[in-house]
Amino acid sequence: MLHWIYIAMVCWITALVLQELFQEKSWRNQIALSLVLIPLLLRIFHIK
């Protein structure tokens, strides 16, 4: 159960980061946000 609460939290943070990625205008910030997305997606899909 604890595991799925953790995954739900990661999904929520991922949604926020995705929203920011599409709203952001600076390309530097967009690259930074996409880098943040990598570990979040890896956790959601149980990779690494």
Partner 1 sequence: MLRQSSLRAGLLLAGVILICLSAALEFRRMDSPDRILPGEGTTRTRALKDYLARLEGSRSDTLVYFLESREPGATVLVLGGTHPNEAAGFLSAVLLVEGVRLKKGRLIVVPQACHSGFTCTDPLEGYPQSYSFPSRSRLRTFRFGSRAANPVDDWPDPLIYRHYPSGQQLSGNEIRNLNRAYPGKADGTTVEQVGYAIMKLIAEERVDLAFDLHEAAPEIPIIDAIVTHQKGRDLAAGALLNLELENLQYALELSPPNFHGLSHREWGDLTPVIPFLMETSNPIQGRLRGPTDEALILEGKDRQYRRALETGRMRITYSPDGEPLARRVGRHLRALQAVLNAYGELYPDRRVEFEGIPSYEEIMKNGVGAYLQ
Among 1, 3, 4, 28, binds partner 1 (CB under 8 A): 3
Q: Does 1 bind partner 1 (CB under 8 A)?
A: no
The span from the CA of 39 to the CA of 10, in Å, is: 10
Written in H, E and C, the secondary structure of 6-47 is HHHHHHHHHHHHHHHHHHCCCHHHHHHHHHHHHHHHHHHCCC
Q: Does 14 bind partner 1 (CB under 8 A)?
A: no
Rounded least distance, CB 3 to partner 1, Å: 6
Interface contacts to partner 1, rule CB under 8 A:
2-3, 18, 21-22, 24-25, 27, 30-31, 33-34, 37-38, 41-42, 45-48
